[in-house]
Amino acid sequence: MTDLLELTPFSPMYETVRRPLYTETTTSQALYLPVAPPTLGSAGAIIGRELYSGKAFIYCPFSAFGDGLPGGNMIVMGDTGRGKSAFAKTYAARQIRLGRQVVVLDTKEQKEREEGEWAALGRSLTGKSPVKFSPGGGPGASCINPMDPAIAGRRQVELVRTIVELGLGRTLDEFAGSALRIAIRRAHQRAGDLGRIAVLADVAAALRAPEESDATAKQRTRDELLGDGLEASYVLDRLCGSEEDATGDLTGMLDGPTSLGVDLNADMIVFDLTKVPSGGVAMTILVAVIAVFLEEVWLRPLCECGAEPSRHERVVVDAGSGAWELGPNRESGCRRYTQRKRILICEEAWHILGVPQLAALLEKFLKFARGYGLSFVGLVHHLSDIDDSPETQAALKMADTIVIYSQKKAEAEATVERLGLPSWTADHITRLRRGIALWVVGEVIYPAVQHLLVEAEQHLCFSSGSMTDFTSTQPDAA
Ligand SMILES: Nc1ncnc2c1ncn2[C@@H]1O[C@H](COP(=O)(O)OP(=O)(O)OP(=O)(O)O)[C@@H](O)[C@H]1O
Ligand SMILES: [Mg+2]
């Protein structure tokens, strides 16, 4: 051993002098960023990695909620085929593994499969087929009744008014609004007398046959009240059609009693709207009705253990004020009430954000839904799809996370300007490759987050079947 040490190569005189490297965990992280912890914390759904640092990128609107992230809503935008839906699908599936419930409004049909893009994912997660809406109805088609007693009074009046205004293309004045409110009340009463639930056609009939007493109560004559509501009744007739005329835009979808084969406790519920003409009034109205229906029947307090709040014990946390919180549930063994979190994903969200009345409805819905732990995810191509009304601006402001996939120059510039992002991001957005996006989470910009798909997810996200030439890419082995 001593001999060895005496060998000249080991003598300090001949050794290259290097300063010793003292490392500690944070130092090694700084030197090799991919081992550093994800910036947004490690709780949540794995998205992929940040390209510039190699760090893992994990995001959860519920875990990150607080100082850095004031709200849980997200807008995903980008040109066609850049990976918006693939991201939303895997994000939903990964969030479900964390115990969340997801509802999807699926608007894009995969022609070769004759079903919506999300059908396969929904089936693989829950074993259930989508809840389908088809103009004209038909076997297996669903119907939601905007007059359903499950929708509370004030909300119902707002909803029916929105339907009429969307059909009319403008807002109702005070007289027409008042006639509509009266007709909704009368429709419920007259249908109740016949032992059934009111539908939209009953509102149209009540608008055409006002009661003397209702007119007097409003200091109007019966004819004046009739005049106030006549136009709205025509709109409802046109939308719902009649027994002789089945051409109404909403026929078979919103004109009858609610018939939804939907398990409200399922991890994922897919509403298939792919047969509803895109950009038409029916799609817009249907989305509005589904949102309000979900608000009334789906968004109810429920613990992650599956029990209602009433099944949890009240634990007094401050004897002085008597303040209490929901504690354990002995039946399920759950230690503390934790609200089950929900995610509502809306493909082609310009159906909502592009229409001021709907944007206003959405804004109210999101404010209300926050108390139920809901995160809204809306997918759009560009902000130019979306109108610039104050209602839309207000709804856009509700999104605290914005994910931007590649866009063309003009659209990227418009996006950057409208969102108040730094000017360098416009050029950067045009260069992003498929599956890579610029994320804005609260105030912080993550310039390039690569969304990683694992092999098992790839077939559920593959949306390019119609554009892929399988015969030339996969030659027959024979
Ligand atoms: N991160 C990714 N890694 C690998 N492939 C991806 C990734 N993201 C998307 N793809 C593939 O790219 C194709 C298009 O993706 P996707 O359907 O998500 O686009 P999109 O932005 O939703 O388009 P559109 O606006 O037309 O709906 C899909 O076939 C998908 O499998
Ligand atoms: Mg898509």
Do 91 and 221 fall into the same domain? no
Q: What is the pLDDT of residue 382?
A: 85
Is residue 427 very low, low, confident or very high in pLDDT (cuts 50, 70, 90)?
very high
Do 90 and 101 fall into the same domain? yes
Q: What is the pLDDT of residue 477?
A: 43
How far is ligand 1, taken at its centre, from the CA of residue 243, in Å?
A: 44
Domain assignment present for 38: yes
| Residue 469 scores a pLDDT above 90 | no
Do 270 and 362 fall into the same domain? yes
- As a whole number, mean pLDDT of residues 74-90 equals 94
| Residue 42 scores a pLDDT above 50 | yes
Percent of the chain exceeding pLDDT 90 equals: 40
How far is ligand 1, taken at its centre, from the CA of residue 80, in Å?
A: 8
**Relative to the CA of 82, which ligand 1 atom is closest?**
21
CB of residue 85 inside a 6 A radius of ligand 1: yes
pLDDT tens per residue, range 244-282: 666 788 888 888 888 877 777 889 999 998 888 877 788
Do 93 and 204 fall into the same domain? no
Q: Between 28 and 18, where is the model more confident?
A: 28
Please give the structure tokens belonging to residue 309: 């709040």
Residue whose CB lies within 8 A of the most ligand 1 atoms, among 75, 461, 464, 470, for a mutation test: 461
Domain assignment present for 453: yes
**Relative to the CA of 405, which ligand 1 atom is closest?**
21
The C-alpha atoms of residue 159 and residue 133 are separated, in whole angstroms, by 19
Q: Are strands 73-77 and 399-404 parallel, antiparallel or unpaired?
A: parallel
How far is ligand 1, taken at its centre, from the CA of residue 87, in Å?
A: 8
How far is ligand 1, taken at its centre, from the CA of residue 465, in Å?
A: 11
Helical residues (DSSP H) of 218-280, grouped into ranges: 222-240
Q: Which of 203, 227, 257 corresponds to the end of one domain?
A: 257
| Residue 478 scores a pLDDT above 70 | no
Q: Which of 257, 284, 310 corresponds to the end of one domain?
A: 257
Do 94 and 182 fall into the same domain? no
CB of residue 82 inside a 6 A radius of ligand 1: yes
CB of residue 78 inside a 6 A radius of ligand 1: yes
| Residue 4 scores a pLDDT above 60 | no
Domain assignment present for 322: no
| Residue 397 scores a pLDDT above 70 | yes
Do 291 and 370 fall into the same domain? yes
Q: What is the pLDDT of residue 18?
A: 59
Do 266 and 395 fall into the same domain? yes
CB of residue 84 inside a 6 A radius of ligand 1: yes
pLDDT tens per residue, range 161-187: 989 998 898 889 999 999 999 999 999
Separation of CA 20 from chain center = 54
Please give the structure tokens belonging to residue 131: 């809840």
Domain assignment present for 176: yes
| Residue 75 scores a pLDDT above 50 | yes
Sign of the CA dihedral 393, 399, 401, 407? negative
CB of residue 464 inside a 6 A radius of ligand 1: yes
Cβ neighbourhood burial of 158 (10 Å; 0-12, 13-18, 19+): middle
Do 121 and 156 fall into the same domain? no
Q: Which residues contact 351 (CB under 8 A, 6 or more apart)?
A: 107, 278, 279, 283, 284, 287, 358
- Find the helix packing angle between 84-96 and 119-126, rounded to 10°: 10
Separation of CA 154 from chain center = 24
Question: How many structural domains compose the chain?
Answer: 2
Residue whose CB lies within 8 A of the most ligand 1 atoms, among 463, 464, 469, 470, for a mutation test: 463
How far is ligand 1, taken at its centre, from the CA of residue 139, in Å?
A: 32
CB of residue 278 inside a 6 A radius of ligand 1: no
Do 53 and 169 fall into the same domain? no
Domain assignment present for 84: yes
Closest alpha carbon to 102 in 266, 319, 304: 266
| Residue 85 scores a pLDDT above 50 | yes
Do 104 and 178 fall into the same domain? no
Do 36 and 78 fall into the same domain? yes
> Whose structure tokens read 């490759």?
433
Do 33 and 121 fall into the same domain? yes
Check: CB of residue 62 under 8 Å from CB of residue 71: no
| Residue 5 scores a pLDDT above 80 | no
Length of the chain (residues): 478
Domain assignment present for 276: yes
Least confident of 141-150, 224-233, 405-414: 141-150
Q: What is the pLDDT of residue 297?
A: 81
**Relative to the CA of 451, which ligand 1 atom is closest?**
1
CB of residue 107 inside a 6 A radius of ligand 1: no
How far is ligand 2, taken at its centre, from the CA of residue 143, in Å?
A: 25
Mean pLDDT for all residues in the chain: 84
- Domain ranges, residue 112: 29-128+260-302+339-463
Nearest residue by C-alpha to atom 16 in ligand 1: 83
Which residue type is seen at 156? Q
How far is ligand 1, taken at its centre, from the CA of residue 435, in Å?
A: 7
Q: Between 28 and 221, where is the model more confident?
A: 221
How far is ligand 1, taken at its centre, from the CA of residue 459, in Å?
A: 11
CB of residue 463 inside a 6 A radius of ligand 1: yes
Q: Which of 257, 283, 312 corresponds to the end of one domain?
A: 257
pTM of the model: 0.82
How far is ligand 2, taken at its centre, from the CA of residue 84, in Å?
A: 6
CB of residue 130 inside a 6 A radius of ligand 1: no
- As a whole number, mean pLDDT of residues 329-336 equals 88
Nearest residue by C-alpha to atom 7 in ligand 1: 435
The enclosing domain of 122 has a CATH number of 3.40.50.300
DSSP assigned state of 370: G
Is residue 155 very low, low, confident or very high in pLDDT (cuts 50, 70, 90)?
confident
| Residue 67 scores a pLDDT above 90 | no
- As a whole number, mean pLDDT of residues 142-167 equals 89
Domain assignment present for 201: yes
Q: What is the pLDDT of residue 43?
A: 79
DSSP for 239-284 reads HH--SS----TTTTTTSSS-B----TTSSEEEEE-TTSPTTSHHHH
Domain assignment present for 155: yes
